[in-house]
Structure 1
């Protein structure tokens, strides 16, 4: 033997010296071939149950030539390699393996840990304390299985920020921490395949794998041995993700995606919503400071409304104030009048939305654009009327949008869109939509609301204009009893009022007045007199512009009753008198106005 005593691993001051000692150990053992070391290293059982070499030839070569530096070899490699060298020298290893592992642990504990690819944590993290606690609690309690948390949410809602904060908090309990971006929603890169992602994750653990099966087996072996924590960011779907999940007790994964990963079984799923106004204000103050924000409280409220609690939007707005000390909050609001004002040259709210939008099927993109015509939260029947499709098809499209976090589902069967996404959808609609498609969508939606309101109001037994002309919608609303129609009105009240405004703006004057008149019985029964007056005053100018005196008389009659209920008697008398004059002129005096019992006393 060229060396009488094996090298002392405790004298290694750093990973490079440790690897040099491993090479010296082979020389001391008589320079056995790599194939001999592979045979003497024996086998081990991978996590998938396969029996594999403990010391593959390629791995030995990779480690001994220093390709892993500045990282240490893995513990399992050191264990098998030292034992194989002693067997090659025909020597009993005794406690040699333990001494080498002690030296390995000492270097690892002194800071020679595997280099972390985890992005930096940020100091102004705020607003996600509850979700952070859920992640850490779930992964701390995973026990004998690898824990997985999937964080989903719309673009810009702060998924990666939360995942990285959680990983930094959990890192001390893990032997290895890794980060990989799958580019599931990237502007300039296609999504990574599982093989590409695993090759990246394994680049410090031996030569590149030759195929996906080898990559998955090695990844699971590596992660199980090191109790690995991995952050898998920007995932497109469950198929892209599944091969990347770590294996073994104590391992953990935090996954982010813009889509709900419904195929990921056994995971803790956390869907992020936009910030509350208080949370948004707190982040804005962290970035921009208190002085300017406190000086203009009304403008601050408008700014928070404009940002809609979207963390990316709050950060971009805060950075503009931070780096422009002479700007006022109203000046910033002026810059944000258009959605493309929310950008800093590198990050952009519209660009973030673009990525999600482009990955939707064409039919779903159309539904998304048309939904921007609706004034607020809507139900499935109204959505079907808006899109001109049957409820089953509409439901599938809405569920696709919900899974992609392009719309929200605040209650079963009810759908809504974040304000900034609604602005984005409207901009897309104005650029892309055929005017005839847009007009048909408006007509379908308004026809559904008009017929539903009129049919439901008849249950209350108060006078109404004649039924709307034209064929009713294919999926007609079927009202129930008095209690049911009042509950329906309470659910849809904001939409019905907004529909009157939509009809007036879009020039559907007859629809506007008939819908306003059909809502009057509900307003009277429910005591919503201010809304009543507002609807009538919205629709009334259209009757005058079109010369529709019949509609004008109905609305003036209705207005007189509503004003009387508000104690505005003089205005009520004026409206009622004008209605009677018109009725006399057009020969409609005999028609009972709705609510006759109260209008006669005016």
Structure 2
């Protein structure tokens, strides 16, 4: 305020020492004049409050890194990132329009690396202007290396790192507890390589409760160091993430252990709520988990967090720290059923393959058994049958070496299913019979039902529908008694195929519709839709057939066998409709 008064002609020794008196003099000097006052980079409202009470005719333009609680007579404009077109125009103004237009693809990449942030774009443009021998591609290439990006975004006294450091330092030096908590949170966010983060996950990093973590995230949002990307999910810009990574705390392991444990425990807990009858690989992780009340909440949470969980598993598996890598295994195995339901076969194969390598490095034999099993499931779903069989044989050998009868019967069942998918029906029957004998002997009801499912499918495929029905009927009764809705739906679909083979399409129709009521996202639903289309086509209901097969095609992405079956059925429906016309 004193500087403003002196700028308006007040002698230095005439500036009041009292703040209220100085503010009154400020208002008096402005009275009757039309003045635009620019207050650049205000730290907080307290810093500029004495300047805010101005007479009519005076306008204050305030820029700030913070979201501040302005009064009713103010208009607040939040400046987000610049659009690609605006960013390119800014670069063109600094580095030359012809130069920028000549390298449209490289310009787009440079804009992406600068994230539409004006300061980063200004620095990149200024550096290009000062280096006429550089192309836009040269600048983009220099920024492409994350380890060097902040080092490159410096020109003169302008630096992205310095700007971010100023915002961080303001929080760190603040006397407010929420500011200091936010300052402690930002470096921890740099530890996790995930698309976004929730208050619960941040709480795990902090070792605090979710309410405090939420306050910290909101404070970082107000400071424009992170942004709300969807309800309850926060994300730092890449440049902020790189800056946060440079603030890595001395003991980074403990926060990471807590975060990965939270992700693993939450994923397994949600999967168990969705389907308590499915067998989950490996031991559970003892940690606070996200709470879901029912199947719908659990399914929604897993779908919403799927990319985050996969990224977290990928990061943990890549760690050289054994404890973190083991949590990566727990999270990877916990994801298996969710990824099967959503057909994320590429992720299953990637994580499963990495898990095999981690287990071999750690000498973790039991986990290696599970890793081979998970990897085989992804390979089978992608139609890579021979590779899947190879990993299942490795799983079976380990199970027998460990004397783990339950794991042995599970491997036998998966070998049966994989051979069935490869249309090696007699081999499928042989492995399923071995599983059934062992599962009955050790009292593994879910394993026995699965063996009967594969046996029924294989016998139906071999043209023995009556034998298939004999095998499937007791399995369906057992699934209904156990409340195993997933297994029940699988059995209903196969029994529907049996009824079609016995020329009873109306009975098949009721079985398929019953299966649809039991499942929402699994491959079983897609199979039921394909079979419903076939049945409606046989019954001459071609519009209904088309509706069901269209949904099946949309849902089959990621599973080669289902993709082919759905596309073949869709072609058959279109052919039937063409003949009718």
TM-score range, shorter chain: 0.5 to 0.7
Distance 1:443 1:381, change over 3 A: same
State yes or no: 1:366 paired with 2:184: yes
Give the structure 1 partner of residue 474 of structure 2: none
State yes or no: 1:551 paired with 2:363: no
Give the structure 2 partner of residue 454 of structure 1: 268
Give the structure 1 partner of residue 241 of structure 2: 422
Distance 1:480 1:286, change over 3 A: farther
Alpha-carbon distance, 1:290 to partner = 4.8
Alpha-carbon distance, 1:511 to partner = 1.5
Give the structure 2 partner of residue 516 of structure 1: 332
What is the CA–CA distance in structure 1 between the aligned matches of 2:329 and 2:336, rounded to whole Å?
11
What is the CA–CA distance in structure 2 between the aligned matches of 1:259 and 1:444, rounded to whole Å?
31
Pick aligned residue for 2:21 from 209, 214, 221: 214
Give the structure 2 partner of residue 489 of structure 1: 302
Q: For the Cα contact (< 8 Å) 2:37–2:59, is it kept in 1?
A: yes
Name the structure, 1 or 2, with higher relative contact order (CA <8 Å, separation 6+): 1
The residue correspondences of 1:118-129 to structure 2 (distance < 5 A) are none
Alpha-carbon distance, 1:482 to partner = 1.8
Q: Secondary structure at the match of 2:60?
A: strand
Distance 1:542 1:217, change over 3 A: same
Q: For the Cα contact (< 8 Å) 1:557–1:576, is it kept in 2?
A: yes
Q: For the Cα contact (< 8 Å) 1:509–1:546, is it kept in 2?
A: no
What is the CA–CA distance in structure 1 between the aligned matches of 2:378 and 2:333, rounded to whole Å?
12
Q: Secondary structure at the match of 2:76?
A: strand
Give the structure 2 partner of residue 353 of structure 1: 164
Pick aligned residue for 2:258 from 439, 444, 449: 444
Greater gyration radius: 1
List alignment gaps of at least 5 residues for structure 1. 1-194
List alignment gaps of at least 5 residues for structure 2. 173-179, 422-581
State yes or no: 1:322 paired with 2:129: yes
Moved more, 294-303 or 230-239: 294-303
What is the CA–CA distance in structure 1 between the aligned matches of 2:199 and 2:260, rounded to whole Å?
14
Alpha-carbon distance, 1:199 to partner = 2.0
What is the CA–CA distance in structure 2 between the aligned matches of 1:267 and 1:297, rounded to whole Å?
40
What is the CA–CA distance in structure 1 between the aligned matches of 2:95 and 2:126, rounded to whole Å?
7
Q: Secondary structure at the match of 2:406?
A: coil
Q: For the Cα contact (< 8 Å) 1:510–1:551, is it kept in 2?
A: no
Give the structure 1 partner of residue 9 of structure 2: 203
Pick aligned residue for 2:393 from 552, 557, 577: 577
Pick aligned residue for 1:525 from 335, 341, 345: 341
Give the structure 1 partner of residue 37 of structure 2: 230
What is the CA–CA distance in structure 2 between the aligned matches of 1:593 and 1:349, rounded to whole Å?
55
State yes or no: 1:588 paired with 2:407: no
Give the structure 1 partner of residue 279 of structure 2: 463
Q: For the Cα contact (< 8 Å) 1:556–1:575, is it kept in 2?
A: yes
Distance 1:514 1:419, change over 3 A: same
Q: Deviations over 1:107-131 (max 9, x none)?
A: xxxxxxxxxxxxxxxxxxxxxxxxx
What is the CA–CA distance in structure 1 between the aligned matches of 2:96 and 2:353, rounded to whole Å?
44
State yes or no: 1:255 paired with 2:62: yes
Alpha-carbon distance, 1:347 to partner = 0.8
What is the CA–CA distance in structure 2 between the aligned matches of 1:271 and 1:243, rounded to whole Å?
23
Q: For the Cα contact (< 8 Å) 1:449–1:496, is it kept in 2?
A: yes
What is the CA–CA distance in structure 2 between the aligned matches of 1:219 and 1:240, rounded to whole Å?
15
The residue correspondences of 1:170-181 to structure 2 (distance < 5 A) are none
The residue correspondences of 1:299-338 to structure 2 (distance < 5 A) are 299-336=106-143, 337=145, 338=148
Give the structure 2 partner of residue 504 of structure 1: 317
Give the structure 1 partner of residue 75 of structure 2: 268
Alpha-carbon distance, 1:292 to partner = 4.6
Distance 1:200 1:579, change over 3 A: farther
Alpha-carbon distance, 1:398 to partner = 2.1
State yes or no: 1:479 paired with 2:277: no
What is the CA–CA distance in structure 1 between the aligned matches of 2:213 and 2:403, rounded to whole Å?
46
RMSD: 2.6
Pick aligned residue for 2:151 from 340, 343, 351: 340
Number of aligned positions between the proteins: 400
**What TM-score do you get using the length of structure 2 for normalisation?**
0.64
Q: Deviations over 1:334-363 (max 9, x none)?
A: 543411211112211111112111111354
Q: For the Cα contact (< 8 Å) 1:303–1:333, is it kept in 2?
A: yes
Distance 1:294 1:576, change over 3 A: farther
What is the CA–CA distance in structure 1 between the aligned matches of 2:349 and 2:73, rounded to whole Å?
54
Distance 1:539 1:259, change over 3 A: same
Give the structure 2 partner of residue 398 of structure 1: 217
Distance 1:245 1:516, change over 3 A: same
Q: Deviations over 1:179-234 (max 9, x none)?
A: xxxxxxxxxxxxxxxx3244245337998432433332232234341132222211
Alpha-carbon distance, 1:297 to partner = 5.1
